[in-house]
Structure 1
Amino acid sequence: MFELHANKVATVRNDILSGLTVALALVPEAVAFAFVAGVEPLVGLYAAFMVGLITACIGGRPGMISGATGALAVVMVALVADHGVEYLFAAVVLMGIIQIAAGLLRMGKFIRMVPHPVMLGFVNGLAIVIFLAQLVQFGTPGDAGWLSGTALEGSIIDVAWLEGQALYSLLGLVALTMAIIHFLPKLTTALPSSLVAIGVVSLLVIGLGIDTRVVGDIASIKGGLPSFHIPAVPLNWETLTIIFPYSVVLAAIGLIESLLTLRLVDEITETRGRGNQECVGQGVANTVTGLFGGMGGCAMIGQSMINVNSGGRGRLSGISAALFLLLFILVASPLIEMIPVAALVGVMFIVVIGTFEWSSFRVIRKVPKGDALVLILVSGVTVATDLAVAVLVGVIVSALVFAWEHAKQIRVDSLEDHKGSTVYTVHGPLFFGSVTSFLEQFNPAGANQDVVMDFADSRVCDHSGLEAIDTLADRYLNAGKTLHLIHLSDECRHLLKRAGSLVEVSVLEDNEDYSAHKMGVLNPFQPTDSPLQSQ
């Protein structure tokens, strides 16, 4: 009993301390993403609090952190610029409703369709994005970047770099933060190393009077409790036509990023989250956030990694992170605004190192070329555009590569049985990618009067396969010969029944006369007493 109680106390302590660490890292991220979306900093902070709290309570992945994210912010900016922030709140409410519907329809299971190379590309691309997002802290706000006048002007890497003592101080503090996070766990794990690093660097800067940028230089985070607020937009068809496209895109991006982050946390913690429950949790969180003046959000891979690496595993870690963030907004803003930005940058750099799949450099030479292409492509598209586009591109390319590879596996063997029939044995799947190769392997002019096609080692997968069979039937009919099909799977028979008159072939009932050996070669010496009957 004592051991159980001790472990429970340790778990609660770890969740609360890791939640505090996450809350500190959430502040500059939420403020930065609010600026990206073109809204006030408190809109981002309220979203981080409400989305984080609700998903931690009812979401499907304990230990995963949600809040305002850059992937959503880049979509929101156009809506805010064209129609104002009230339309954003309305779009966030509709976004949440769509996500709830997706969860109730159990669409979370479709994340299983994302191949592993796409997952690796997503992780690597997101790590790069997190790294690049920190570069702005190494620049002077308002000054022209070093890439002015080039095609990359205004991009995330177009920074007006600091110089001299300011740059050296920032680099030194970042390096110190990273060193503490890396080496402290080798000495003790009593406190999260990220939290200790932030505290030590903050005290060092304050005690020595080091001139470096702090959180208060970015924006003031002081505010009150979020209040209920119905979006001030006309409730008519025109409003729906404006916000609906944005809501669909935001819902899709939010669910994809959340479910992929859920899978990543599953792998790290060796536990299993609930995808459909997470969809509903994200939806409820965004619906409520939109009604309380927040910009909406989804799972945050960087903060989730901070939480997991700091020992946060339960729902309490996400709940405490959200409550600490609210506490910062209400009463502790002067203290939080004194934290050096360098300390938070150092924490995020450690997250980048831990998030990036360095093993992908090793395995990329060993996996099939198609998988390597998908991995690199998804990483690049994630950096260049956004996560939803990258995952969609990765899934499409993976599907095309899969179809191309399986299209080459179709093979047809032919022989003449003891009844004088030409028997073709088909090996491999018959679908849209393989029909051309399939048709090229038949010669109606050289076949006997009666032709049998054996599908014991094949499957007709789609309408293209049915159309190919119908094309063959026409060819043999024009040659004055008859085509029969045997050993069709139940799925193939079902397709043929549904096709009806679209496919005019004779499907024979399987019997011993046309039974196949395990290797797919028919036995021409098997006697038969019963005639073949049409199905």
Structure 2
Amino acid sequence: MVIAGKTRRRLRQLAPDRKTLRKDLIAGLPGAISSVPDGMAASVLAGVNPVHGLYASIVGPIGGGLTASTRLMVITTTSAAALAAGSAVAAVPADERPRALFLLTMMAGALMVLAGVAKLGRYTRFVPHSVMIGFLSGVAANIVFGQLPDLTGAEAEGPFALAKAWDLILHPGRIQPGAALAGMSALVLLVVLGRTRLAVYSTLIAMLVPTVAAAVLGAEDIPRVSDAGEIPSGLPMPALPHLADFSLSLLAGAFAVTALVLVQGAGVSEAAPNPDKTRSDPNRDFLAQGVGNLLAGLFRGQPVGGSVGQTALNVSAGAAGRWASIFSGLWMALLLLLFSGLVGTVVMATLAAVLIFAAVGSFRVGDVRAILRTGRISQIAVIATFVATLFLPVAAAVGIGLVLSLLMQLNQEALDLRVVELTPRDDDSFVERPARARLESRQVVLLDVYGSLFYAGARTLQARLPETAQARSPVVVLRLRGRVMLGATAFAVLADYAERLDAAGGRLYLSGVDPAVVEQIRRNRTVERVTGVRVYEADEVVGESSLAAYRAATRWLATRD
């Protein structure tokens, strides 16, 4: 009965609100119109027929809209996901590439669903801002460099986008004047119209005007979308992927797409809060993006995710809820039904112009400047990730970014650790001072620790605890309040310090210890086996157990006379 009640409530939440239905219906149309060039351009990045981006732009917003916790988020094609997918299938023969892409999309969708079920949403916060900005800047640069040949109608060779751009510079004779003129015209239209009331439709206009001009002038030699493959008419029918297309490189690409989509989606959910102020559930958004990708792969589309641009357009168009995204997908299906025959006539250079314009606009110069002014660690992170994205496959760059994130997290935790000395006053308050470097004979020292005690943090604590050498009968009270778990390294460090104090005729007292940590200490048996270690469990009064431990240590020291 409880499950049935929850199901009914969930279905009621999905039902369109009559008060906002018309608003969402209208808001979905600009998103559908702009998805035509965006979806086609995403397929260009993935190296497949542009129709697959259009298919993804139908089912992604519908599936994601029905399931997302962030109700204004639009789940559709994104440049980063397309670039990652294209990098993963680049080595696959052109005639087999679409099938491999569909399988990759469904694998990524399954991974996203698993991430949502496993409630991994909280881990997105561990990706440093500097790493993400470095990666997104590298993606934007790759798009610009990689689309220069298409913008000019030239053939270029090279193992990565920057190499292709350099090859084009070395061989300017390959540039096709007609294609270059169409591409540059599209760029001019994008810049000019972007500052007018037609900004919402600027990408569509920039794509159509040069295409119509080329058709009127009879410029048949200019590359068109149909050159990339036949554009099927009508809507896609569901088809299961071929498991024979599976490969480890494809799986690595699916993991790369998953990491990118989930981290970007978390950023989109923060930028587009729910109208009723309810908090978004990152795990449910993971599931929604997984559903969008499973549907995209099933209906012969490419990877989708929370789109920054489409979500911003959705909000600016007056969307009131999730049905704006759903209507965007339905409008897109209608547009494809009516105008699928015209898709193949679009000039490829205009799609390259759309991608370049979007990539240049996505450069967050202010964020990069702020990061470069922050400190050495942030500088290394943003530059290393940017360079890796330029010269390595996207899957490898994502892996480097994630490893770099972990190393930065551990390094920062170690650097942030601070040991201070607390001196009790007559009114039972404490005066905080920097911890002394060496212990003195026959003195009780109360220490507190700020920062993580996991992994490198525990070793940093070991290096920053006062030295016991040459001190006789030194006593240390170490305050551990607020820590609900300690790692094996922390236990080893505490046991080592206790042994050094014991060797000098002193003792170690642990105060403010959480009951869960007390149980850990008993199970671990590393610290308690050292002679003289005393543990004082935390109570409701902050500082009470530390004062009790300090007084007990003072009394014990007095017995040593």
Moved more, 452-461 or 57-66: 452-461
The residue aligned with 2:265 is: 262
Decide whether the 8 Å contact of 2:153 with 2:175 is kept in 1.
Answer: no
Following superposition, the deviation at residue 71 of structure 1 comes to 0.8
Match of 1:129 among 142, 167, 180: 142
Decide whether the 8 Å contact of 1:100 with 1:279 is kept in 2.
Answer: yes
Alpha-carbon separation, structure 1, partners of 2:521 and 2:90: 51
Structure 1 residue 183 corresponds to structure 2 residue 189? no
Alpha-carbon separation, structure 2, partners of 1:283 and 1:486: 47
The residue aligned with 1:451 is: 475
SS at match of 1:370: helix
Alpha-carbon separation, structure 1, partners of 2:356 and 2:53: 22
The residue aligned with 1:21 is: 34
SS at match of 2:145: helix
Following superposition, the deviation at residue 168 of structure 1 comes to 5.1
Alpha-carbon separation, structure 1, partners of 2:472 and 2:191: 79
- CA gap 1:246/1:107 in 2 versus in 1, 3 angstroms: farther
Following superposition, the deviation at residue 376 of structure 1 comes to 2.3
CA deviation string 1:410-449 (max 9, x = no partner): 76337779xx544352443445435356356544453333
Alpha-carbon separation, structure 1, partners of 2:537 and 2:306: 56
Match of 2:518 among 470, 475, 493: 493
The residue aligned with 1:117 is: 130
Alpha-carbon separation, structure 2, partners of 1:220 and 1:521: 80
- CA gap 1:43/1:278 in 2 versus in 1, 3 angstroms: same
The residue aligned with 2:491 is: 466
Alpha-carbon separation, structure 2, partners of 1:474 and 1:526: 19
Match of 2:402 among 392, 395, 413: 392
Moved more, 502-511 or 129-138: 502-511
Alpha-carbon separation, structure 2, partners of 1:324 and 1:377: 42
Alpha-carbon separation, structure 2, partners of 1:423 and 1:111: 40
Decide whether the 8 Å contact of 1:428 with 1:458 is kept in 2.
Answer: no
The residue aligned with 1:194 is: 203
- Structure 2 length normalisation: TM-score? 0.73
- CA gap 1:405/1:11 in 2 versus in 1, 3 angstroms: same
Write the mapping of 1:20-59 to structure 2, written as runs, cut at 5 A.
Answer: 20-35=33-48, 46-59=55-68
Decide whether the 8 Å contact of 1:26 with 1:303 is kept in 2.
Answer: no
Following superposition, the deviation at residue 102 of structure 1 comes to 1.9
> Alignment identity in percent?
20
Following superposition, the deviation at residue 458 of structure 1 comes to 9.2
- CA gap 1:102/1:214 in 2 versus in 1, 3 angstroms: same
Following superposition, the deviation at residue 392 of structure 1 comes to 0.5
- CA gap 1:80/1:443 in 2 versus in 1, 3 angstroms: same
Alpha-carbon separation, structure 2, partners of 1:172 and 1:258: 31
The residue aligned with 2:317 is: 311
- CA gap 1:450/1:526 in 2 versus in 1, 3 angstroms: closer
Write the mapping of 1:69-468 to structure 2, written as runs, cut at 5 A.
Answer: 69-77=82-90, 92-140=105-153, 143=155, 145=157, 155=164, 158-159=167-168, 161=172, 162-163=174-175, 165-166=177-178, 169-185=181-197, 192-207=201-216, 212-231=222-241, 233=243, 243=246, 245=248, 249-269=252-272, 273-292=280-299, 294=300, 296-299=302-305, 301=307, 304=310, 307-308=313-314, 311=317, 313=319, 315-316=322-323, 318-323=325-330, 325-327=332-334, 330-384=337-391, 385-386=393-394, 388-407=398-417, 412-413=435-436, 420-429=442-451, 430-434=453-457, 435=459, 438-439=462-463, 441-449=465-473, 451-455=475-479, 461-468=486-493
- CA gap 1:321/1:329 in 2 versus in 1, 3 angstroms: same
Following superposition, the deviation at residue 326 of structure 1 comes to 4.3
Decide whether the 8 Å contact of 1:100 with 1:283 is kept in 2.
Answer: yes
Decide whether the 8 Å contact of 2:82 with 2:303 is kept in 1.
Answer: yes
Decide whether the 8 Å contact of 1:177 with 1:198 is kept in 2.
Answer: no
Decide whether the 8 Å contact of 1:98 with 1:248 is kept in 2.
Answer: no
Alpha-carbon separation, structure 1, partners of 2:94 and 2:202: 41
Decide whether the 8 Å contact of 2:413 with 2:456 is kept in 1.
Answer: yes
Following superposition, the deviation at residue 359 of structure 1 comes to 0.3
- CA gap 1:285/1:80 in 2 versus in 1, 3 angstroms: farther
Match of 2:534 among 502, 507, 512: 507
- CA gap 1:199/1:168 in 2 versus in 1, 3 angstroms: closer
Alpha-carbon separation, structure 2, partners of 1:28 and 1:275: 28
CA deviation string 1:99-136 (max 9, x = no partner): 32221222223212222223322332232233233223
Q: Which amino acid aligns with 1:24?
A: P
Moved more, 431-440 or 99-108: 431-440
CA deviation string 1:229-262 (max 9, x = no partner): 44555xxxxx7xx948567534433332222332
Q: Which amino acid aligns with 1:406?
A: D
Moved more, 349-358 or 212-221: 212-221
Aligned residues: 505
- Structure 1 length normalisation: TM-score? 0.76
Following superposition, the deviation at residue 287 of structure 1 comes to 3.4
Instruction: Structure 2: give runs of 5+ residues left out of the alignment.
Output: 1-16, 421-433
Decide whether the 8 Å contact of 2:385 with 2:400 is kept in 1.
Answer: yes
- CA gap 1:500/1:8 in 2 versus in 1, 3 angstroms: same
Moved more, 369-378 or 87-96: 87-96
SS at match of 2:34: helix
Alpha-carbon separation, structure 2, partners of 1:425 and 1:221: 72
Moved more, 46-55 or 175-184: 46-55
Alpha-carbon separation, structure 1, partners of 2:551 and 2:41: 80
Following superposition, the deviation at residue 352 of structure 1 comes to 2.0
Match of 2:500 among 447, 463, 475: 475
Following superposition, the deviation at residue 57 of structure 1 comes to 3.2
Alpha-carbon separation, structure 2, partners of 1:132 and 1:81: 21
Q: Which amino acid aligns with 2:447?
A: T
Following superposition, the deviation at residue 355 of structure 1 comes to 1.5
